[in-house]
Amino acid sequence: MRLLFCGDVVGRSGREAVTSRMPALRRRHGIDFVAVNGENAAAGFGITEAICREFFAAGVDAVTTGNHLFDKREIVSTLASEPRLLRPANYPAGTPGEGAHAFALADGRQVVVVNLMARLFMDALDCPFAAAEAAVQAHRLGDGAAAILVDIHGEATSEKMAMGHHLDGRVSAVFGSHSHVPTADARILAGGTAYQTDAGMCGDYDSVIGMKKEPAVARFVRKVPGERLSPAEGEGTLCGVFVETDDATGLALQVAPVRLGGRLAEARPPD
């Protein structure tokens, strides 16, 4: 199975990078399933139901989120009614929506997506490792789940790496999100799980992590509040990670970074 995970989509530039390229990308590279982290898609802060529909219409199968999920309050009702939109599984019990969901492909295979949020330097949520454990006990790789993809949304590289090793051999892939910069450590771990610490950002890289440069720089230089940050509006890069799994085991056969358009050097999924 061939899967693609795209990192945090930031603003209109990021949305256009994903929606304009996704249909052809899926066709050219035979991608079976696409998940996208959409928590910054609405002007950099949160996501709306309308934006979810844009992603689904372009060929995205699942949308994951993170600490900006509830920046648009309207999304609460969407979480309760739209299973393709996930929230971190380690939110407290009773939070609307699902943190893990099994998606059925047209051929009958199931892809499970697990959305987690780390805790170091992040909002204080329940333990992501306990939530991950519950998810893999409920959805076992090779026993109903043809592939399991985990988005660990977090600040600390150490915590994301620890999650990768914790789940190694039990899921197809663990990919990090949140820091908006792609890391260069795409690899297959010892137990067969594909891993990359951060998938990067879908957005304009002539920016400060997707936001317009001048007000972002001014905050660091002057150390006083300034104008509200807003997304950069130049050409965006679609940034993510590709993984191909073994149909027999669900474990990874190959993993590769993906970068299309904008200012970063291009990297395409293998044919």
**What is the Cα–Cα distance from 9 to 156, expressed in whole angstroms?**
19
Q: In this structure, are residues 196 and 190 in contact, taking their beta carbons and an 8 Å threshold?
A: no
Question: Does residue 226 carry a pLDDT above 80?
Answer: no
In tens, the pLDDT along 92-131 reads: 999 999 999 999 999 999 999 999 999 999 999 999 999 9
Beta strand spans in the chain (E): 2-6, 33-37, 62-64, 100-104, 110-117, 140-141, 144-145, 147-153, 173-177, 187-188, 194-196, 238-245, 252-260
- Put simply, whether the predicted model's pTM sits higher than 0.85 gets the answer yes
Q: In this structure, are residues 103 and 62 in contact, taking their beta carbons and an 8 Å threshold?
A: yes
pLDDT at 223: 83
The span from the first CA to the last CA of the chain, in angstroms, equals 13
Catalytic residue IDs: 68
In tens, the pLDDT along 145-154 reads: 999 999 999 9
Query: Residue type for 93, please?
Result: A
In tens, the pLDDT along 56-100 reads: 999 999 999 999 999 999 999 999 999 999 999 999 999 999 999
* Boundaries of every domain in the chain: 2-260
> How many residues are listed for the chain in this entry?
271
| 2-260 placed in CATH 3.60.21.10 | yes
DSSP state of 233: -
